[in-house]
């Protein structure tokens, strides 16, 4: 933060790195609010593929920096004491750790870096050489362990799984009092959960020791096959989805994740207000997880591998916190709007987990990570199939 206090005071900020520019540019510009990024360049062949080579030594990078400041010298250069970049000689002033800042600069006047909320890499820890070696050594055993865990989850009854889970390195922590099922009711309880991984509804059913259907959006077919609980695929068409949820609630309890997609960081995405319109029997459930090696979510990768990556972790831990059922005065039956109810549930779940509420949605996440809004039309799928068939048609003939 001391370095950030110095860096954020200047009107024009340039970040210089030995890493390939394309790997750091979006982070530096969006989160550190830099104006320019200077670094080495990836070598791309004539077919448009990166070769793995990097173009640009220290002299090359320094000359690019000098071109940015032809008319005016940089006021200040921040660097490590061991940095070998030549461009620091053109700076009017140089500074290296420890960074000394003006004590008169109050925190409320400080321009703060934007937090990282969306990212899509599978690795949890920074891949230093020792950590990378550890992860690569663990992967064969992790794959075998994931297969065993998945088979156990599919084959064994839910009431037995909580007793078997610790034997294979897993752990489920339950806080709060789960609601008891009410017989004779014409409507089930709607469990409203934070969405951390694909395993949220499965873990909830395991804790309650009964199969509770879960509504899903973009779950893969493989995950549906492996799921030990019923899944109800939604269409993202509001009227159609509302009818599906009402129908399922008429048969019993149901699990819904109003964020519509997962979020890894300690933030909650904006809740859809659809669930609040359909029932007043709402039980908020705060879900959180801890993993050591691999994230179990992806936006641009293969979603079918999400449960496998989750179970590949040596000691996956899930925390399930049950909150009290919403009182009648906090639901739509008291005249509150669905958005007010959804925002209220989001706030109490965030407070329980120590997370921060945001206005980001599923579309915002997918635009950042995958370049789309998270939906794929049927026509585009047909076009893709036709394209694949036309590609292989000569070989088939």
**Higher-confidence position of 358 and 127:** 358
Rounded to an integer, the average pLDDT of 235-243 is 87
Looking at the predicted structure, is the pLDDT value of residue 103 above 60? Answer: no
Question: What is the fold of 129-378?
Answer: Glycerol-3-phosphate (1)-acyltransferase (3.40.1130)
pTM for the full predicted model: 0.81
The predicted pLDDT at position 380 comes to 47
pLDDT tens digits, 138-167:
999 999 999 999 998 888 888 888 889 999
Question: Residue 155 contacts by C-beta under 8 Å, 6 or more apart in sequence?
Answer: none
Rounded to an integer, the average pLDDT of 306-313 is 93
What is the spatial distance between Cα 192 and Cα 348, in angstroms, rounded to a whole number?
12
Question: Residue 295 contacts by C-beta under 8 Å, 6 or more apart in sequence?
Answer: 121, 122, 123, 124, 264, 309
Looking at the predicted structure, is the pLDDT value of residue 90 above 90? Answer: no
Give 237's pLDDT tier (boundaries 50, 70, 90): confident
Rounded CA Rg of the chain: 26
Rounded to an integer, the average pLDDT of 249-277 is 93
**Higher-confidence position of 281 and 234:** 281
**Higher-confidence position of 375 and 2:** 2
Rounded to an integer, the average pLDDT of 325-333 is 91
The predicted pLDDT at position 174 comes to 94
Looking at the predicted structure, is the pLDDT value of residue 387 above 70? Answer: no
CA 318, chain centre distance (Å): 16
pLDDT tens digits, 26-76:
889 988 889 889 888 889 999 989 888 888 777 778 778 878 877 777 888
Contact 16, 68 (CB under 8 A): no
The predicted pLDDT at position 389 comes to 52
Give 101's pLDDT tier (boundaries 50, 70, 90): low
Mean pLDDT of the chain: 85
Rounded to an integer, the average pLDDT of 283-304 is 92
The predicted pLDDT at position 102 comes to 62
Give 383's pLDDT tier (boundaries 50, 70, 90): low
What is the spatial distance between Cα 263 and Cα 208, in angstroms, rounded to a whole number?
24
Beta carbons within 10 angstroms of residue 306's beta carbon: 24
Highest mean pLDDT of the ranges 104-118, 163-177, 214-228, 374-388: 163-177
> Is residue 98 reached through a cis peptide bond, with omega within 30 degrees of 0 on the bond before it?
yes
Looking at the predicted structure, is the pLDDT value of residue 377 above 70? Answer: no
The predicted pLDDT at position 269 comes to 95
What secondary structure does DSSP assign to 375-395, as a single string?
A: ---HHHHHHHHHHHHHHHHHH
The predicted pLDDT at position 379 comes to 44
Give 183's pLDDT tier (boundaries 50, 70, 90): low
Rounded to an integer, the average pLDDT of 83-101 is 76
Looking at the predicted structure, is the pLDDT value of residue 314 above 80? Answer: yes
The predicted pLDDT at position 124 comes to 93
Give 395's pLDDT tier (boundaries 50, 70, 90): very low
The predicted pLDDT at position 347 comes to 96
Rounded to an integer, the average pLDDT of 369-378 is 68
- Which of 173-177, 223-227, 242-246, 257-261 has the lowest average pLDDT? 223-227
The predicted pLDDT at position 349 comes to 97
Closest CA to 321 of 172, 162, 175, 173: 175
> What residue spans in the chain does CATH classification 3.40.1130 cover?
129-378
What is the spatial distance between Cα 104 and Cα 111, in angstroms, rounded to a whole number?
15
């Amino acid at each position: 933060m001391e370095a950030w206090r110095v860096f954020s005071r200047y009107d024009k900020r340039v970040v210089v790195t030995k890493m390939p520019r394309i790997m750091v540019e979006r982070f530096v510009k969006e989160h550190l609010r830099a104006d320019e990024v200077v670094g080495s360049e990836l070598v791309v062949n004539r077919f448009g593929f990166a070769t793995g080579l990097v173009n640009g030594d220290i002299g090359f990078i320094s000359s690019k920096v000098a071109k940015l400041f032809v008319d005016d010298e940089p006021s200040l250069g921040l660097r490590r004491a061991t940095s070998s970049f030549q461009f620091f000689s053109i700076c009017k002033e140089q500074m290296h750790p420890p960074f000394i800042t003006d004590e008169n600069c109050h925190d409320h006047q400080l321009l703060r870096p934007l937090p990282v909320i969306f990212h899509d890499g599978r690795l949890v820890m920074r891949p230093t050489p020792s950590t990378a070696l550890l992860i690569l050594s663990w992967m064969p055993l992790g794959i075998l362990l994931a297969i065993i865990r998945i088979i156990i989850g599919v084959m064994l009854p839910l009431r037995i799984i909580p007793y078997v889970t610790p034997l294979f390195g897993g752990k489920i922590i339950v806080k709060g009092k789960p609601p008891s099922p009410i017989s004779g009711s014409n409507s089930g309880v709607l469990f409203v959960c934070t969405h951390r991984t694909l395993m949220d509804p499965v873990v909830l059913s395991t804790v309650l020791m009964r199969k509770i259907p879960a509504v899903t959006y973009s779950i893969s077919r493989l995950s549906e096959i492996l799921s030990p609980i019923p899944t109800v695929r939604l269409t993202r068409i509001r009227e159609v989805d509302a009818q599906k949820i009402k129908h399922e609630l008429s048969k019993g309890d149901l699990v819904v994740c109003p964020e519509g997609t997962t979020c890894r960081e300690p933030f909650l995405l904006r809740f859809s207000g659809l669930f609040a319109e359909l029932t007043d029997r709402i039980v908020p459930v705060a879900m959180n997880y801890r993993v050591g090696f691999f994230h179990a979510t992806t936006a641009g990768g293969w979603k079918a591998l999400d449960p496998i990556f989750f179970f590949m972790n040596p000691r996956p831990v899930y925390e399930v916190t049950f909150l009290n059922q919403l009182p009648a005065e906090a639901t739509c039956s008291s005249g509150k709007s669905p958005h007010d109810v959804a925002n209220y549930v989001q706030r109490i779940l965030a407070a329980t987990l120590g997370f921060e509420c945001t206005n980001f949605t599923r579309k915002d996440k997918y635009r950042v990570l995958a370049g789309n809004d998270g939906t794929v039309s049927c026509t585009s799928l047909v076009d893709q199939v036709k394209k694949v068939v036309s590609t292989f048609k000569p070989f088939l003939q």
